[in-house]
């Protein structure tokens, strides 16, 4: 105990977080927010996005926090295992796992191929499961609790939100179930497991969704985005920083009683 601290207060070691899919969009915003909150942050994405990861890691270090870069394909168990081991070797442990990485494939239900189905499930559903599993094992081994967060979606709350995203919706519903199951098993270890379910967020993925709707369903440029804004009670889409703020709370000590939840954050367009 530090004798300079008031009675009954102890210094707590700085926590380490790992954020997957951190090269852009939500993952990048979450990584920066956790660093701002005073955490060391390890960042992950696939190898072609290494330059973006290095830039992000430098930005985190400039904030006075430690950071490391870990390229891995989260759909492959050996790569996820090696990623977790690398984070622990570099930072001495893992306290917060943000399983953010995922992809979207736009195709009608009847036109979706088995190859497309398998690819999106391997990354979104299996990838989330593997991150939960190996991060959970590490946190249990450490014996000091932890926070695990996954990325669902408004499509994980309502599967008929629009054409072209049936396979994507399936993966995001799966993440809700995985989150609930993991929360049930890990709670006794003081590990909470939750997920965020965003609506339309201003990002490269939303821009791509608008483009997909133009190409496949003859939408006009910007029509998909404008339709969402018109339906949302607040009248606008969210920003990556809005999701990062929710994650900031979910990984905090104050959120110790929140687990097994997939929290909607969508401007009111869908209410649980």
211 is catalytic: no
Residue 148: which residues within 8 A CB-CB, separation 6 or more? 96, 97, 99, 131, 132, 135, 136, 139, 182, 186, 191, 192, 193, 194
Query: What's the rounded Cα separation, in Å, for the pair 53 and 24?
Result: 9
Sequence-distant (6+) residues with CB within 8 A of 114 are: none
Q: Contact, 215 vs 1, CB < 8 A? A: no
Of these residues, 172, 188, 228, 236, which one is catalytic?
A: 172
Q: Is 168 tagged catalytic?
A: yes
Is-contact 60 94, C-beta < 8 A?
A: no
Active-site position among 168, 188, 216, 236 = 168
Phi and psi (nearest 5°) for 240?
-50, -35
CA 2 to chain centre: 36
Q: What are phi and psi of 170, to 5 degrees?
A: -60, -40
**Taking the alpha carbons of 94, 251, 194, 54 in that order, is the dihedral positive or negative?**
negative
Catalytically annotated residues: 168, 172
């Amino acid at each position: 105990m530090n004798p300079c601290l008031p009675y009954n207060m102890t210094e707590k070691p700085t926590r380490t977080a790992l954020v997957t899919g951190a090269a852009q969009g939500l993952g990048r915003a979450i990584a920066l927010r956790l660093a701002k909150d005073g955490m060391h942050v390890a960042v992950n994405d696939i190898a072609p996005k290494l330059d973006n990861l290095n830039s992000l890691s430098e930005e985190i270090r400039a904030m006075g926090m430690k950071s490391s870069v870990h390229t891995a394909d989260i759909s492959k168990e050996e790569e996820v295992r090696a990623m977790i081991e690398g984070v622990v070797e570099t930072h001495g442990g893992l306290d917060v796992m943000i399983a953010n990485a995922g992809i979207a494939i736009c195709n009608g239900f009847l036109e979706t191929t088995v190859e497309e189905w398998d690819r999106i499930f391997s990354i979104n559903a299996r990838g989330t499961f593997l991150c939960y599993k190996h991060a959970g094992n590490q946190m249990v081994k450490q014996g000091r609790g932890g926070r695990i967060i996954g990325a669902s979606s408004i499509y994980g709350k309502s599967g008929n939100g629009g054409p072209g995203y049936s396979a994507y919706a399936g993966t995001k519903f799966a993440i809700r179930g995985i989150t609930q199951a993991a929360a049930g098993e890990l709670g006794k270890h003081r590990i909470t497991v939750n997920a965020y379910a965003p609506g339309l967020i201003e990002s490269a993925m939303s821009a791509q969704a608008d483009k997909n709707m133009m190409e496949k369903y003859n939408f006009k440029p910007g029509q998909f985005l404008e339709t969402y804004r018109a339906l949302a009670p607040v009248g606008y889409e969210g920003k990556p920083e809005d999701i990062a703020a929710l994650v900031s709370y979910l990984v905090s000590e104050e959120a110790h009683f929140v687990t097994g939840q997939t929290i909607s954050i969508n401007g009111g367009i869908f209410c649980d």
